[in-house]
Structure 1
């Protein structure tokens, strides 16, 4: 039987409450941002949840007593990195007060400039949509600007200890959610294409994101790119089927003549691209747009949709820079 309501204040045992809340099984995340000086900051957190798909929102809760609280409370952007089951050591590192957490953890800039771990289960790169003061925490609601995921098993957490997740990848999940990540790699007015082995040419692709300015292409080639000069260019499906495409623009950090390329890779002058040998209509159309925009130095970001897509013109690409702090 429920006790009758009274006007007396309700006393909650914080230790017992923490244990009760800890029975909810969660994943483990590393939330990251940059402080006013541009230095990377990060901490372990499991108070994470999705909020909305339209617009794409998520939230994390940051304790006001956290060492990195000031950075998260003032930065216009942050990233959420979900950990896989092989990253207990990374979780413990970012839960500590170590001064140089990022020295031994590979990370990259994707969209906002917040550090994104190059090895993790899933990442979300966000701008701050809203901050909500909530007791001894601040709720950060982020609008997702970019994200990526992998088929790795997640790292779980329950009752104050790490937990394994049984059957983390249901049959068919990877095939229906995979994305091909392609690159428009520029160098001296040339664009890099890869032979498809059937007499055609396609964009080079990469399984992993850039680490230390090096891009490891599918097939084994490794290219060094210009720092802070890689930008999302196009997101689309092909013939309404999976997988879809994420296309990034990037710039080679060396001359075309000195780039170490295998036999299947070739740089073409942008005004001599072999459109008639590109087997995918959507890729060919995207390349024609790229050539037009390269000539005018006015680039856009294309997002596919069922009503024809959206093209947002953003001008000539500039490295991401956080606004000055007041």
Structure 2
């Protein structure tokens, strides 16, 4: 896509390919009341002097207050704080009513149990198209040691948990699989007994290997999402890593798309596949997905919300 023909939504989606952390930016308004909003457009700038920045949309309800504030704080959310991210991303009247917080030295709200926080003096406000850049000079900070919450392609993820799961799985015989989605339907292979698309893992990036396989299988454009299920198959001796994936429009070379909630009486190749499809059907209805860790008969699901964090 050229500069002369940039589609704003397509550009936003392309930016979304870059995984970021999730923060809540806080300050005090002119009346001394706390304000805050969710942002993932945050980055460190300099160690000497200690500087950071965050971007703020000019359409934000907090624009006037934030651009005139003398101090602001960055709260880096921990992996258990998805609900806080969603609260501060919505137009809620009193966002601070449901969270625990304390004021830092210069009065900025610091949320409890965050991965890290930084209180800053406003160094500079820089005009940047439809946003402004808030440059802050760090006056105080704290690092709790908790793992941070990640965000990419419209969903949250927990980077440390995901990397440990894949690392453990790569110690054995791997099979890569996908819940391949399109318009609320998933791709299944087979005629009377169905299976999710899967391929043998080998040396290299699991997501690239799986993406290449799915594109060759379907003849369609495929994007790999986040982990959906990591489990040990006791019956086949394999470690199974299943991702959510998304495909473009068109007729697939192999397989057919089905609505997951219409597959209750379908026969599947394995009980694990049946469980994955049933869980996906349920989670699709409530809009809250998770990552399963365990074996083919028992394990735990760590919920991962797909509510959008707002920059």
TM-score by length of 1: 0.48
Distance 1:18 1:55, change over 3 A: same
The residue aligned with 1:58 is 52
Q: Quick one: distance in 1 between partners of 2:162 and 2:145?
A: 8
The residue aligned with 1:133 is 127
- 1:115 matched to 2:109: yes
The residue aligned with 1:69 is 63
Alignment of 1:302-313 (within 5 A): none
Which of the residues 11, 19, 26 maps onto 1:25?
19
- Which one scores higher on RCO, CA 8 angstroms, separation ≥ 6? 2
The residue aligned with 2:144 is 150
Deviations 1:84-137 (A, max 9, x none): 110010000000010010111111112211111122110000000111011111
Q: Quick one: distance in 1 between partners of 2:162 and 2:16?
A: 21
Q: Quick one: distance in 2 between partners of 1:115 and 1:151?
A: 20
* Equivalent pair of 1:151/1:169 in contact (CA under 8 Å): no
Could you tell which deviates more after superposition, 46-55 or 9-18? 9-18
Paired residue secondary structure (1:10): helix
Distance 1:126 1:150, change over 3 A: same
Deviations 1:116-173 (A, max 9, x none): 1122110000000111011111100000000001121210000010011036999xxx
* Equivalent pair of 1:63/1:137 in contact (CA under 8 Å): yes
Which of the residues 26, 43, 48 maps onto 1:49?
43
Deviations 1:243-298 (A, max 9, x none): xxxxxxxxxxxxxxxxxxxxxxxxxxxxxxxxxxxxxxxxxxxxxxxxxxxxxxxx
Alignment of 1:71-90 (within 5 A): 71-90=65-84
Q: Quick one: distance in 2 between partners of 1:24 and 1:146?
A: 28
The residue aligned with 2:155 is 161
Alignment of 1:1-326 (within 5 A): 10-166=4-160
RMSD: 2.0
By percentage of residues, which structure has more helix?
Answer: 2
Deviations 1:176-222 (A, max 9, x none): xxxxxxxxxxxxxxxxxxxxxxxxxxxxxxxxxxxxxxxxxxxxxxx
Q: Quick one: distance in 1 between partners of 2:160 and 2:113?
A: 21
Q: Quick one: distance in 2 between partners of 1:103 and 1:30?
A: 15
Q: Quick one: distance in 1 between partners of 2:149 and 2:4?
A: 35
The residue aligned with 2:251 is none
* Equivalent pair of 1:154/1:168 in contact (CA under 8 Å): no
Q: Quick one: distance in 2 between partners of 1:56 and 1:167?
A: 30
Deviations 1:41-63 (A, max 9, x none): 00000000000000000000011
